[in-house]
Amino acid sequence: MEPTILHNSSNTGWIEVICGSMFSGKTEELIRRMKRARIAKQRVEIFKPAMDTRYDDADVVSHDESVITSTPVSSPSQILLLTSDATVIGIDEGQFFDETLVEVVTQLARDGRRVIVAGLDQDYLGQPFEPMPQLMAVAEYVTKLHAICVICGAPANHSQRLTSGDTRLLLGATESYEPRCRRCFSIHPEADIPHDAVGNEPARTPDAGM
């Protein structure tokens, strides 16, 4: 259930985290909640890291092209300066902010705001992607979304990097990553054994094995 329904008669703020792998619909879910808050005549503000320049500079744009205007900020403390009268604050790509995001978000919630942070919970090695784990710990509500594994069709919890390089912040979603389940995910993709070679039909073939 959407947290705002549970909280609607209360004056306290709270924190919601929307996490998951790439292509799991995190930004779409953030936008959906923000649009509903706007319909409810609440003042909403959305922020994203200034470094996320994959799409438009001033908009949060998800892979399915839903658009909602947002403000790029270079540090979490800037969010405090820019949220004077907003009651609902959205933050996209939370994993690209430093750990001070936790204190900023906590301060906003203490001040009576509803704060919704979307972000990757794991990096391309499958390791927790700070500060998302810390935000999940202090949040009242955590929603974990899954993509679909492109190899076997199972729910995907991992973002498989398809290119080489060891930088954690590699951007450029569609061509550099694909969603994979735990079994199909590999931190050494060059050593992958194709699924067919071990006798597993890809589930994306509709009638495979049925």
* Residue ranges that bind Zn ion, judged by CB under 5 A: 149, 151-152, 154, 181, 184
Active site residue 99: no
How distant, in Å, are the alpha carbons of 54, 123, 158, 194 from that of 170? Answer: 11, 10, 15, 25
The partner residues of 44 in beta bridges, in order of sequence, read 88
Residue closer to Zn ion by CB (options 86, 152) is: 152
In the complex, what is the shortest distance from the CB of residue 153 to Zn ion, in angstroms, rounded to a whole number? Answer: 7
C-alpha 63/C-alpha 26 separation (Å) is: 10
In the complex, what is the shortest distance from the CB of residue 161 to Zn ion, in angstroms, rounded to a whole number? Answer: 16
Question: CA torsion 168→169→173→177, rounded to 10°?
Answer: -10
Residue closer to Zn ion by CB (options 60, 149) is: 149
93, 99, 178, 201: which is the annotated catalytic residue? 93
Residue closer to Zn ion by CB (options 120, 156) is: 156
C-alpha 93/C-alpha 54 separation (Å) is: 12
In the complex, what is the shortest distance from the CB of residue 186 to Zn ion, in angstroms, rounded to a whole number? Answer: 11
The residues that are catalytic are 93
